[in-house]
Amino acid sequence: MRSPEGNLLWDCITLLDDATVAAVRELGGIRAIAISHPHYYASMVEWAHAFDATVLLHAGDRQWVMRPDPSIEFWTGKTKELWDGMTLINAGGHFDGGTVLHWPAGRGLLAGDILQVAQDRRWVSFMYSYPNYIPLSAAKVDSIVAAVEPYEFERIHGAWWDRNVAAGAKNAVRRSAERYKTAIAVR
């Protein structure tokens, strides 16, 4: 996210080459890196070193860090206030430290796959394991919804390029949770 007080990189990709570093520097560099969950940890240290940035990870996922580094800052609790109104929210989900980012300037949430945007983009879903199609419990879904409920957001930016809820995202989360819990209760 480009931001007046410093740019934030969300869920960094694994490839970091000279062209990428140059392009990011042209955009103002990176103040910090925030990551939704361990699936995006692979190159976080390289990104941090390239931009002299701090990596912000929820302490609930500390066990998944395979390459400790002084650039990593673990935070605790339910939220971490950043700059320019941005807030990291510990929503849990398929990892205890699962994090979403409230981005008020963009009227949205950056959700990784904690809130997985569905194919029709009007719904989200919740899973313990996407590759194995193992659902989360109703209690975990309620916990995710409760974590984001205090925040105003119109959009959800999902884990993949075209996976976004463009409008009505807060209501999409609410109705998706109810649909999901109904579906897992049916036998």
pLDDT, tens digit (0-9, with 9 covering 90-100), for 9-60? 999 888 899 999 999 999 999 999 999 999 999 999 999 999 999 999 999 9
**What's the confidence (pLDDT) of residue 161?**
82
Mean pLDDT for 64-71 is 97
Partner residues linked to 90 by β-bridges: 99
Res 1 pLDDT > 90 = no
Residues 159-187, mean pLDDT to the nearest whole number: 92
pLDDT digits 0-9 by tens, 113-134: 999 999 999 999 999 998 898 9
pLDDT the model gives residue 131: 87
pLDDT score for 160: 84
For the chain, the domains span: 8-185
What pLDDT score does 187 carry?
A: 64
Fold of the 8-185 domain: Metallo-beta-lactamase; Chain A (3.60.15)
Alpha-carbon torsion, ordered 59, 162, 130, 134, to 10 deg: 110
**Which residue's entry shows tokens 């935070």?**
75
Q: What is the pLDDT of residue 24?
A: 96
Q: What is the pLDDT of residue 23?
A: 96
C-alpha 65 chain-centroid distance: 17
Average pLDDT estimate for 59-83: 97
Q: Is the pLDDT of residue 186 over 80?
A: no
**Mean pLDDT, rounded, for 143-169:** 94
